[in-house]
């Protein structure tokens, strides 16, 4: 029953931002986004969006799939979808099995500030993928006999 109620809300949230981020590439929005990010997001997603905690996703990777697409039309549509997802996730927060992983920010940040944060994140350098996990490192440091 709850899923039937959530689906229309999800679709409405995504369609409300169907045009994507209106602040993408805007220097003043990027500067504002950096300030808003540092004040509200850095604690979990890492200083300057470069070192997220183990629990928080690396927001720089949100566009990774879109950037691999060859078609510019598909890439643009993909970015619009990710923009909609980002706006919905920030506004609504992240809750799984009753546990709050990220609080909702709809009453804290304006739509303009959320788009600015998204624009800021897109300017951050992407780290190279890790080739080893912390488990691999532990095994290398303490081999079993």
Domain locations along the chain: 2-126
Q: Which residues are within 8 A (CB) of 71 and not within 5 positions of it... i.e. 6 or more apart?
A: none
Averaged pLDDT in 10-residue chunks for the chain of 145 residues: 50 57 96 97 89 82 93 95 96 92 96 98 83 68 71
Please check whether the domain covering 2-126 is classified as CATH 1.10.760.10: yes
Distance (Å) of CA 126 to CA 32, 63, 68, 109? 20, 10, 14, 25
- What is residue 53's DSSP assignment? -
Q: What is residue 132's predicted lDDT score, i.e. its pLDDT?
A: 65
CB 91 within 8 A of CB 108: no
CB neighbourhood size of 140 (10 A) = 9
Q: What is residue 7's predicted lDDT score, i.e. its pLDDT?
A: 47
93-100 contacts at long range (C-beta below 8 A, 24 or more positions apart): none
- Output the six-digit token pair for 114: 């959320």
- Output the six-digit token pair for 65: 């799939």
Q: What is residue 145's predicted lDDT score, i.e. its pLDDT?
A: 55
Give 96's strand partners: 99
pTM: 0.76
Distance CA 80, CA 21 (A): 7
Q: What is residue 76's predicted lDDT score, i.e. its pLDDT?
A: 94
């Amino acid at each position: 029953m709850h899923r039937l109620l959530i689906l229309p809300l999800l679709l409405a949230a995504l369609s409300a931002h169907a045009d994507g981020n209106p602040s993408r590439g805007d220097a003043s929005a990027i500067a504002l986004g950096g300030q808003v990010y540092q004040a509200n997001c850095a604690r979990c997603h890492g200083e300057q969006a470069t070192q997220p905690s183990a629990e928080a996703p690396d927001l720089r990777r949100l566009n990774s799939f879109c950037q691999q697409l060859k078609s510019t039309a598909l890439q643009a549509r993909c970015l619009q979808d990710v923009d909609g997802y980002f706006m919905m996730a920030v506004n609504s927060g992240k809750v799984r099995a009753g546990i709050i992983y990220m609080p909702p920010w709809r009453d804290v940040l304006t739509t303009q500030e959320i788009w600015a944060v998204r624009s800021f994140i897109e300017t951050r350098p992407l780290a190279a993928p890790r080739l080893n996990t912390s488990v691999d490192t532990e095994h290398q440091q303490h081999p079993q006999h």
